[in-house]
Amino acid sequence: MIVAATLFAWGADTVQVKQTRIPILIDRVDNVLFYLRVDAQETKALNEIVLRFADQVNLNEVEAVKLYYSGTEAPQRAGQLHYSPVQQYVSSHAQGKTRCANPSYSLKVEEVIAPVSEVIFSPDYKLFPGINYFWVSLQMIPNASLLSTIDVELTSVKLDGQEAPLAFATERATHRMGIGVRHAGDDGSASYRIPGLVTSKKGSLLGVYDVRYNSSVDLQEYVDVGLSRSTDKGQTWEKMRLPLSFGEHGGMPKAQNGVGDPAILVDDVTGAIWVIAAWTHGMGNGRAWVNSMDGNGKETTAQLMLAKSTDDGRTWSAPINITGQVKDPSWNFLLQGPGMGITMADGTLVFPIQFIDAERIPHAGVMYSKDRGESWTIHEPARSNTTEAQVAELEPGVLMLNMRDNRGGSRAVAVTSDLGKTWTEHPSSRSVLQEPVCMASLIAVKAEDNVLGRDILLFSNPNSTTSRHLITIKASLDGGLTFPNEYQVLLDEDSGWGYSCLTMIDRETVGILYESSVAHMTFQAVKLTDIVK
pLDDT tens-place string over residues 399-427: 999 999 999 999 999 999 999 999 999 99
Return the sign of the alpha-carbon dihedral for residues 325, 328, 329, 331: negative
Residue 498 has a pLDDT of 98
Which of 299, 435, 441, 423 lies closest to 364, judged by CA? 423
Task: List, in sequence order, every residue forming a beta bridge with 461; answer none if it has no partner.
Answer: 472
Which of 176, 182, 186 lies closest to 196, judged by CA? 182
Phi, psi of 411, rounded to the nearest 5 degrees: -70, 145
Reported as type and span, the H/E element at residue 531 is: helix 528-531
Phi, psi of 495, rounded to the nearest 5 degrees: -80, 145
Give the separation between CA 327 and CA 376, rounded to whole angstroms.
10
Task: Please give the mean pLDDT across all residues of the chain.
Answer: 96
Please return the burial class of 114, using the count of CB atoms within 10 Å of its CB with bins 0-12, 13-18 and 19+: exposed
Residue 13 has a pLDDT of 82
From residue 112, alpha-carbon distances to 28, 67, 121, 399, 472 in Å are: 17, 9, 8, 53, 32
* Catalytic residue, candidates 73, 221, 388, 393: 388
Residue 67 CB neighbours (<10 A): 25
Question: What are 437-455's pLDDT values in tens digits?
Answer: 999 999 999 999 999 999 9
Give the separation between CA 154 and CA 161, rounded to whole angstroms.
17
Question: What are 90-103's pLDDT values in tens digits?
Answer: 999 999 999 999 99
Which of 269, 257, 263, 221 lies closest to 243, judged by CA? 263
Checking if the pLDDT of 283 tops 80, the result is: yes
Does the active-site annotation cover 388?
Answer: yes
* Radius of gyration for the alpha carbons in the chain, expressed in angstroms and rounded: 24
Checking if the pLDDT of 370 tops 90, the result is: yes
Amino acid, res. 400 = M
From residue 298, alpha-carbon distances to 10, 332, 491 in Å are: 63, 12, 41
Residue 8 has a pLDDT of 38
Task: List, in sequence order, every residue forming a beta bridge with 110; answer none if it has no partner.
Answer: 67
Percentage of the chain surpassing pLDDT 90?
97
Question: What are 447-503's pLDDT values in tens digits?
Answer: 999 999 999 999 999 999 999 999 999 999 999 999 999 999 999 999 999 999 999
From residue 199, alpha-carbon distances to 232, 305, 420 in Å are: 11, 22, 26
Residue 11 has a pLDDT of 53
3-state secondary structure of 284: helix
Give the separation between CA 237 and CA 230, rounded to whole angstroms.
5
Backbone angle region of 194, left / alpha / beta, with phi > 0 → left and psi within -120 to 50 → alpha? left
- Average pLDDT, stretch 353-377? 98
